[in-house]
Amino acid sequence: MITLKEATTVKEIRDFVKFPFSLYKNNNYWVPPIINDEISGFDKDKNPVFKHADAQFFLAYRNNKIVGRVAAIINWTEINEQQIKKMRFGWFDMIDDIEVTKALIDKVIQIGKQNDLKFVEGPVGFSNLDKVGVLIEGFDHLGTMITWYNHPYYKEHLEKLGFVKAKEWLENYMLFENLNPDNFTRLSKLIARRYDLRAINFTKTEQIMPYVDKMFDLFNASYAKLASFVPISDEQKKYFKEKYIKLINPEYIVYIADKEDNLVAFAVTMPSFSSALQKANGRLFPFGFYHLLKAKKHSKEVIFYLIGVHPKYQNKGVTAMIFDEYYKTYSKRGVTKLIRTPELEENVAIRQLWKDMQPVTHKRRRTYRLDIQ
């Protein structure tokens, strides 16, 4: 018999976070989170997303043993401002037993119906900067710190329960040795002159901070036309600034500004922490910090985390300036591989950015949808 219990106490939330550590034990491709960091993200007094969203965290038990988990999420900005009556679910993991999956999903559906929502979609997080999607291809590739990993049966379970594809994301990598600087170096200079633009580079984290709010404003403007996009609030900007910017090498952030010092484009990349996080195994102490700091300084793989271009400058070649700056930086650091975070299959414009870099699609992931009203 399967029973569900809402995780509300500190211990229960910790159990919720730690369940995947047993589910993926000895899996070479799963990348664990930092346990305390994950717990902090679920703290409604610390994470500002809860000013605009509600979440309940459920654990599934059989014979007093945890066999699954799910977060049931309502993003009120999405519902009230965008009129998208979506019941979200995320942090979705379970053993290979469809009855466990059904029990978890039924709870999500129940909450959706209680709030008069029209459909369920997931796995997704609280906002657009959270992890997204069930992995459907690429199970033999190492994950990243900003994606979920899952067993192949997740897809099968959801489809057996009547879910259909909602959206699909592609993940690509590019080998640095295949990049041809001629594709962007000359164009970079031309674009800079034509539109009177300049690149802003950094050597210290404190130099970045005055621009971060502007960067998130530009991020909101860049992706506003996507149907699934929920804008980042001012509180979330502050939260992400404090939580993530210090993890990133200053030279891995590039801004492009016009003559009035307005940001027109940006890109945020970071060293790959995947192997370091596997070694840390969820803990910063006693050696987790060491592994992460070592990766920050010496990782030869880079994750393209965020990229945005103001609508006024889209399709005008501005990204050539970004790639030109990164090519110089990565050459000095001996970077060998560039990895793209998930990008929507329907977002043709973003895929066009990489077409000359010989991208290899090595993973696909989906969110699944089920109508409930």
Mean pLDDT in consecutive groups of 10 residues from the start of the chain, 373 residues: 96 98 97 96 93 96 97 95 94 98 98 97 90 97 96 98 97 94 92 96 91 89 75 84 83 95 94 96 93 94 92 91 96 96 86 86 98 91
Is residue 242 located within the same domain as residue 229?
yes
Residue 371 covered by a domain: no
Is residue 181 located within the same domain as residue 126?
no
Q: What is the pLDDT of residue 108?
A: 98
Is residue 11 located within the same domain as residue 92?
yes
Residue 373 covered by a domain: no
Is residue 155 located within the same domain as residue 182?
no
User: Are 78 and 34 contacting, i.e. CB atoms less than 8 angstroms apart?
Assistant: no
Is residue 193 located within the same domain as residue 132?
no
Distance of CA 85 to the CA centre of its chain: 22
CATH number, domain containing residue 226: 3.40.630.30
Is residue 123 located within the same domain as residue 221?
no
Q: Are strands 86-94 and 164-175 parallel, antiparallel or unpaired?
A: unpaired
Domain boundary among 128, 147, 171: 171
CA dist list (Å): 215 to 48, 127, 128, 220, 244: 18, 17, 15, 9, 14
Residue 80 covered by a domain: yes
Q: From CA 370, how far away is CA 373, in angstroms rounded?
A: 10
Is residue 123 located within the same domain as residue 13?
yes
Q: b vs e for 94-114, b when ≥16 Cβ sit within 10 Å of the residue's Cβ? A: bbebebbbbbbbebbbebbee
* Token code pair at residue 102: 């059904």
Q: Are strands 337-340 and 301-309 parallel, antiparallel or unpaired?
A: parallel
What is the CB-side half-sphere exposure of residue 54 using CA atoms within 13 A? Answer: 10
Is residue 185 located within the same domain as residue 159?
no
Bridge partner list, 164: 369
Report the chain's terminal Cα–Cα distance, integer Å: 28
Is residue 290 located within the same domain as residue 252?
yes
Question: Coil, helix or strand for 23?
Answer: helix
Question: Coil, helix or strand for 180?
Answer: coil
Is residue 144 located within the same domain as residue 286?
no
User: Are 228 and 207 contacting, i.e. CB atoms less than 8 angstroms apart?
Assistant: no
* Token code pair at residue 334: 């001996």
Is residue 249 located within the same domain as residue 158?
no
Residue 42 covered by a domain: yes
Q: What is the pLDDT of residue 301?
A: 97
Is residue 268 located within the same domain as residue 301?
yes
What one-character DSSP code corresponds to residue 193?
H
Q: What is the pLDDT of residue 98?
A: 98
Q: From CA 70, how far away is CA 105, in angstroms rounded?
A: 8
Q: Are strands 343-344 and 164-175 parallel, antiparallel or unpaired?
A: antiparallel
Burial class (CB in 10 A: 0-12, 13-18, 19+), 132: buried
Residue 244 covered by a domain: yes
* Token code pair at residue 331: 């050459």
Q: Give the chain's length.
A: 373
Burial class (CB in 10 A: 0-12, 13-18, 19+), 296: middle
Q: Considering the entire predicted model, what is its pTM?
A: 0.93
Domain boundary among 154, 171, 188: 171
Q: From CA 71, how far away is CA 75, in angstroms rounded?
A: 12
Domain count, the chain: 2
Residue 352 covered by a domain: yes
Q: From CA 330, how far away is CA 335, in angstroms rounded?
A: 5
Residue 370 covered by a domain: no
Domain boundary among 171, 201, 235: 171
Domain that holds residue 167: 2-171
Residue 339 covered by a domain: yes
The 3-class secondary structure across 129-143, one letter per residue, is CCCECEEEECCCCCC
